[in-house]
Amino acid sequence: MKTILVIGAGRSSVALINNLLNHASSSGYRVKVADKNHEWAKEKINNHPNGIALSLDIFNNLQRQQEIQAADIVISMLPARFHLMVAKDCLSFEKNLLTASYLSEELKDMDEEVSAKGLLFLNEIGLDPGIDHMSAKTIIDEVHAKGGKFKSFKSFCGGLIAPESDNNPWHYKFTWNPRNVVLAGQGTAQFLQHGRLKYIPYHNLFNRIEEMSILSFGQFEAYANRDSISYKKYYNLDYIPTLFRGTLRRPGYSKAWNLFVQLGMTDDSYEMENQKNTTFRQYTNTFLPFGEKSIEEKFKENFNLSEDGLKMYAWLGLFSEEVIPVEKASPAQILQYILERKWTLANEDKDLIVMQHQFEYEIDGKEYSHTSSFGIIGDDQINTGMAKTVGLPLAIAARLILKDKISLKGVHIPVHPEIYNPVLKELQSLGIDFEEEINEI
Mean pLDDT of 91-112: 96
pLDDT at res. 66:
96
Mean pLDDT of 123-141: 97
pLDDT at res. 289:
87
pTM summary value: 0.93
C-alpha distances in angstroms, 12 versus 126, 259, 342, 383, 384?
10, 30, 20, 9, 8
C-alpha distances in angstroms, 356 versus 17, 136, 164, 349?
27, 10, 21, 24
Q: What is the DSSP letter of 216?
A: T
Rounded Cα distance between 295 and 291, Å, is 9
Between CA 305 and CA 209, with CA 173 as vertex, the angle to 5 degrees is 55
Q: Which domains does the chain have, with CATH numbers?
A: 2-127+385-433 (3.40.50.720), 131-257+347-382 (3.30.360.10)
pLDDT at res. 175:
85
Question: SS3 of 294, please?
Answer: coil
The amino acid at residue 386 is M
Question: How large is the C-alpha radius of gyration of the chain?
Answer: 23
pLDDT tens track for 56-95: 999 999 999 999 999 999 999 999 899 999 999 999 999 9
| pLDDT for 276 beyond 80 | no
| pLDDT for 274 beyond 80 | no
pLDDT at res. 219:
97
Q: Extract the runs of DSSP E, i.e. beta strands, from 116-218.
A: 120-122, 149-161, 188-193, 196-201, 209-213
The helix (H) or strand (E) run that includes residue 368 is strand 366-377
Burial 38-61 (b: 16+ CB within 10 A, else e): eebbbbbbeebebbebeebebeee
The amino acid at residue 53 is A
pLDDT tens track for 215-258: 999 999 999 999 999 999 999 999 999 999 999 999 999 999 99
pLDDT tens track for 173-193: 998 889 989 999 898 999 999
pLDDT at res. 97:
98
Number of Cβ within 10 Å of residue 219's Cβ equals 11
| pLDDT for 359 beyond 80 | yes
Give residue 317's pLDDT band: very low, low, confident or very high (50, 70, 90). very high
